């Protein structure tokens, strides 16, 4: 089991259990800017960003969070310099190898969403191995969005639905929100309750466009390499204090 049950976690943060988020998604922004402000190469920002991934993942597991989704690499990031992309792929492969012990100890279940095209075979091999080793775990789900784009995900879902219609297995008037949701990369996962974005940017960057329809947004000017447990706790406390009406009226 996770180290701290959700009810105990909510008590630790002085939050009623019913106000504790089930699923937190994070746009991890600002690695390059963090490095450049210190006169360092951009890749050093990515290296320090991995330490934040480790820190926040472990803390979320200890708090008993049901799911943490991290935006690791967007489908648009392939426009970056090849040397930076090669380093990111190396970090991804290294992370999958080095974090297995922690993932297993904390009962974390790893998932990956996005297209596999373009990701090196060595990285894919380690990703698949970590997913397989952790699939029986029953604690927090750690979902990594790699080569992911929200519009791309919707296109892939529509293609699946169109193929079913063309084959006569589905009538157009039978298509509803549940039909589309069942064809997304995130099928079977709860929608995020809280979306955190670091480095102060006020945009969604093509991330989980369908799934965050009712997510609470929390933006911090802190760059991802400096994002720590205290920032996470503040985001959760601010989330718990909000009035979530889902289109209705306050009680």
Residues catalogued as catalytic? 29, 77
State how far the Cα of 181 lies from the Cα of 190, in Å rounded to an integer: 11
**Buried residues in 116-149 as b, exposed as e (16+ CB within 10 A):** eeebeeebbebbeebeeebeebebbbbbbbbbbb
Cβ pair 71, 207 in contact under 8 A: yes
State how far the Cα of 61 lies from the Cα of 65, in Å rounded to an integer: 6
State how far the Cα of 99 lies from the Cα of 103, in Å rounded to an integer: 6
Within 10 angstroms of residue 84's Cβ, the number of other Cβ atoms is 15
In 3D space, the residue among 233, 193, 237 whose CA is nearest the CA of residue 217 turns out to be 193
In 3D space, the residue among 64, 83, 207 whose CA is nearest the CA of residue 149 turns out to be 207
Q: Vertex 133, ends 157 and 225: CA angle to 5°?
A: 75
């Amino acid at each position: 089991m996770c180290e701290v049950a959700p009810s105990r976690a909510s008590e630790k943060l002085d939050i009623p259990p019913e106000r504790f988020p089930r699923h937190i998604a994070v746009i991890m922004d600002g690695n390059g800017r963090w490095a450049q402000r210190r006169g360092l190469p951009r890749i050093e920002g990515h290296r320090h960003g991995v330490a934040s991934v480790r820190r926040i993942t472990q803390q979320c597991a200890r708090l008993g969070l049901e799911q943490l989704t991290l935006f690791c690499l967007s489908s648009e990031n392939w426009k970056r310099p090849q040397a930076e992309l090669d380093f990111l792929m190396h970090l991804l492969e290294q992370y999958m190898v080095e974090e297995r012990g922690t993932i297993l100890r904390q009962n974390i279940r790893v998932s990956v969403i996005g297209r596999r095209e373009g990701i090196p075979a060595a990285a894919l091999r380690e990703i698949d191995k970590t997913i397989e080793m952790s699939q029986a775990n029953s604690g927090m789900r750690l979902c990594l969005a790699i080569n992911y784009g929200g519009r791309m995900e919707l296109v892939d879902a529509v293609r699946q639905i169109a193929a079913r219609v063309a084959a006569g297995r589905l009538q157009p008037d039978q298509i509803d929100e549940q039909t589309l949701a069942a064809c997304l990369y995130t099928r079977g996962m709860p929608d995020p309750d809280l979306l955190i974005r670091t480095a102060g940017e006020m945009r969604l960057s093509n991330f989980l466009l369908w799934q965050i329809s009712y997510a609470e947004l929390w933006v911090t000017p802190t760059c991802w390499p400096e994002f720590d447990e205290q920032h996470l706790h503040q985001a959760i406390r601010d989330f718990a204090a909000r009035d979530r009406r889902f289109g209705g009226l306050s009680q």
